[in-house]
């Protein structure tokens, strides 16, 4: 008898529990890596914490399964996709339900296909299952029972009318809203013992309306006995926010497969990176320790930034190719123009220019406690007269720079363009609109971070750029894309944004295809 806690209303059916385990371990084979083709042997935690309670715990009177919802929160590399695919196939082939509809769901089609494609490969590698199945590109059928297995994603139009028997949500934290979750939960109403199962890592958004955060909180309260819900099975493997992320005991606490699919040397490497790269710390906590974090994080440390400076004669840059980023602020605010020069030794020179109306300087010194007056004396600011930014001053400066350097193209914020952009274009400047979303900003932001850590840039010790870096907060989306969050950053960050845009423009222009991101993907830090 399993040590599963039972009340008077429930029994533990050891035969059914063992049957589910036996199906997986005799019918399912690994489809990837060095274990490909070998039978899938479950770890003890997979059997005792998930499979056996899920399929062996039943209502004493009806004989129906106790659990209708199972929430598994677990760090990456613990075999969650493999386990999810195996459970989906059990519900398709071995459960008692006829006409069963099984679904893999996720925030987008690519994510939704991960478990499904893994399950499809498992069927194709299993002689027993393959002869019972019809496998198609987007579905798997079990004709003898009239059962089907398909994918659904939040980026497709929501379809009602499903009669779901089993629904597996992969990476629930990537759901953009609760619509798909609610749709699929309600679709199980006509089934006698349906299963809604979410297998996810921790997320980066604790905002109201985040369905994963909502289910996570509910699971924790059920687990701790604060809420009584006999139909809900919470399985959460996580370190706590107070745990030391550098300790092996913390890694073991969060990763039940530590020492199996999770190697000590890998965790050492990732933990070390989390201490060296400020923006990666929260990512490490979420992905490898299952600690929920904020989507807002600090970025490059001042110490790392200061290591990227050495004396350099900018006259050596005359006629040299460079790429620009132009971030125009409001008419009374600081505006930035940044040039980035790729050098022959795989380093980069960053040359920033800042523009501000003269009559706003004193106010900023008094209000913001920032030495604009000192920056002006040291020629770090280009001044326009009055209290409103004269865009003609910016225009003249950029055209003067075009005479000194070979400016290939200039990226600008398409949502903050002005007459200045039109005038510069008429002057012969090659200007390119540059989006401020994750699609455009994430790759160059990650690349700049990598370059700083590898000491590949020289920012010429510009004090304004250094100050603005200290103001930066990053926002992270569920797919781990990053960008500078202007709204939540303290003080000004326009010079950093312009630097990222200039780098992104260079990365795009230098690619033989449509975009450098298409050629090499996102930079792995």
**Domain endpoint, select from 195, 216, 236:** 236
CA atoms of 15 and 19, how far apart (whole Å)? 6
Q: What is the secondary structure of 421-478 as a DSSP string?
A: HHHHHHTT--EEEE--SHHHHHHHHHHHHHHHHTT-EE-TT-HHHHHHHHH-EEEE-T
In-domain check, residue 308: yes
pLDDT of residue 330: 67
> What are the CA-CA distances from residue 249 to residues 74, 175, 243, 263 (Å)?
16, 31, 9, 13
* The two structure tokens encoding residue 399: 């055209």
In-domain check, residue 5: no
In-domain check, residue 241: no
CA atoms of 71 and 292, how far apart (whole Å)? 15
DSSP 3-state of 355: strand
In-domain check, residue 1: no
* Same-domain check for residues 205 and 338: no
pLDDT of residue 434: 93
In-domain check, residue 4: no
pTM: 0.68
* Same-domain check for residues 90 and 227: yes
Q: Residue 196 belongs to a domain with what CATH number?
A: 3.40.50.300
pLDDT of residue 331: 62
* Same-domain check for residues 167 and 278: no
In the chain, the number of structural domains is 3
- For the chain, how big is the Rg over CA atoms in Å? 28
pLDDT of residue 37: 86
In-domain check, residue 347: yes
* Same-domain check for residues 96 and 204: yes
CA angle 250, 252, 256 (to 5 degrees): 135
Residue 390 CB-half CA count within 13 A: 13
pLDDT of residue 432: 93
CA 424 to chain centre: 37
* Cβ-contact 410, 505 below 8 angstroms: yes
CA atoms of 341 and 350, how far apart (whole Å)? 7
Range of the domain at 470: 303-520
pLDDT of residue 149: 96
pLDDT of residue 1: 35
* Same-domain check for residues 273 and 312: no
> What are the CA-CA distances from residue 473 to residues 137, 295, 463 (Å)?
43, 10, 18
* Same-domain check for residues 141 and 116: yes
* Same-domain check for residues 267 and 410: no
* Same-domain check for residues 170 and 43: yes
Long-range contacts of 514-521 (CB under 8 A, 24+ apart): 516/443, 517/443
In-domain check, residue 3: no
* Same-domain check for residues 18 and 164: yes
Q: Residue 496 belongs to a domain with what CATH number?
A: 3.30.420.240
* Residue 71: φ, ψ to 5°: -115, 115
pLDDT of residue 523: 32
* Same-domain check for residues 452 and 505: yes
Burial pattern 134-146, b for ≥16 Cβ within 10 A else e, equals eeeeeebbbeebe
**Domain endpoint, select from 226, 258, 291:** 291
In-domain check, residue 2: no
Cβ atoms within 10 A of the Cβ of 456, count?
16
pLDDT beneath 50, residues of the chain: 1-3, 512-525
**Domain endpoint, select from 211, 236, 261:** 236
* Same-domain check for residues 467 and 411: yes
Sheet holding 296-298, edge to edge: 296-298, 473-476, 482-484
pLDDT of residue 157: 59
* Same-domain check for residues 62 and 203: yes
């Amino acid at each position: 008898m399993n040590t599963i806690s039972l009340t008077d209303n429930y029994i533990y059916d050891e035969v059914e529990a063992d049957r589910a385990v036996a199906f997986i371990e005799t019918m399912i084979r690994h489809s990837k890596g060095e274990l490909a083709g070998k039978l899938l042997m479950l770890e003890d935690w997979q059997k005792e914490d998930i499979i056996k309670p899920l399929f062996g715990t039943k209502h004493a009177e009806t004989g129906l399964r106790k659990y209708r919802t199972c929430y598994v929160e677990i760090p990456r590399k613990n075999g969650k996709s493999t386990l999810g695919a195996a459970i989906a196939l059990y519900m398709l082939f071995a459960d008692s339900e006829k006409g069963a509809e099984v679904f893999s769901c996720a925030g987008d089609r690519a994510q939704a296909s991960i478990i499904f494609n893994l399950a499809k490969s498992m069927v194709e590698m299993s002689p027993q299952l393959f002869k019972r199945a019809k496998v198609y590109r987007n579905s798997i059928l079990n004709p003898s029972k009239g059962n089907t297995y398909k994918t659904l994603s939040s980026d497709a139009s929501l379809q009602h009318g499903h009669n779901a028997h089993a629904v597996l949500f992969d990476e629930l934290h990537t759901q953009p809203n609760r619509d798909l979750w609610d749709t699929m939960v309600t679709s199980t109403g006509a089934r006698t013992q349906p299963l809604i199962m979410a297998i996810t890592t921790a997320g980066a958004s604790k905002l109201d309306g985040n369905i994963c955060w909502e289910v996570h909180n509910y699971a924790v309260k059920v687990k701790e006995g604060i809420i009584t819900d006999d139909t809900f099975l919470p399985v959460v493997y996580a370190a706590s926010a107070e745990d030391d992320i550098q300790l092996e005991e913390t890694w073991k606490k969060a990763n039940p497969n530590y020492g199996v699919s999770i190697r000590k040397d890998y965790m050492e490497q990732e933990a070390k990176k989390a201490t060296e790269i400020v923006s990666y710390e929260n990512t490490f906590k979420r992905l490898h320790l299952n600690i929920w974090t904020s989507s807002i994080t600090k970025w490059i440390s001042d110490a790392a930034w200061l290591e990227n400076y050495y004396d350099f004669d900018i006259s050596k840059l005359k006629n040299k190719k460079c790429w620009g980023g132009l971030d125009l602020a409001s008419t009374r605010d600081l505006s930035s123009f940044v040039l980035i020069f790729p050098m022959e030794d795989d380093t980069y020179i960053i040359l920033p220019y800042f523009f501000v109306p003269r009559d706003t300087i004193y106010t900023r010194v008094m209000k913001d406690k920032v030495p604009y007056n000192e920056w002006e004396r040291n020629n770090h600011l280009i001044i326009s007269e009055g209290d409103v930014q004269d865009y003609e001053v910016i225009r003249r400066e950029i055209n003067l720079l075009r005479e000194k350097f070979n400016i290939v193209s200039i990226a600008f914020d398409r949502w903050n363009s002005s007459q200045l952009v039109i005038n510069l274009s008429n002057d012969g400047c090659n200007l390119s609109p540059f989006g401020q979303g994750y699609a455009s900003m994430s790759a160059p932001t990650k690349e700049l971070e990598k370059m700083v850590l590898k000491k590949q840039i020289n920012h010429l010790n510009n004090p304004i750029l250094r100050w603005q870096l200290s103001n930066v907060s990053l926002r992270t989306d569920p797919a781990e894309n990053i960008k500078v969050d202007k709204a939540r950053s303290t003080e000004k960050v326009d010079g950093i944004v312009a630097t990222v845009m200039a780098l992104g423009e260079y990365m795009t222009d230098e690619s033989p295809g449509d975009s450098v991101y298409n050629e090499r993907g996102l930079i792995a830090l």
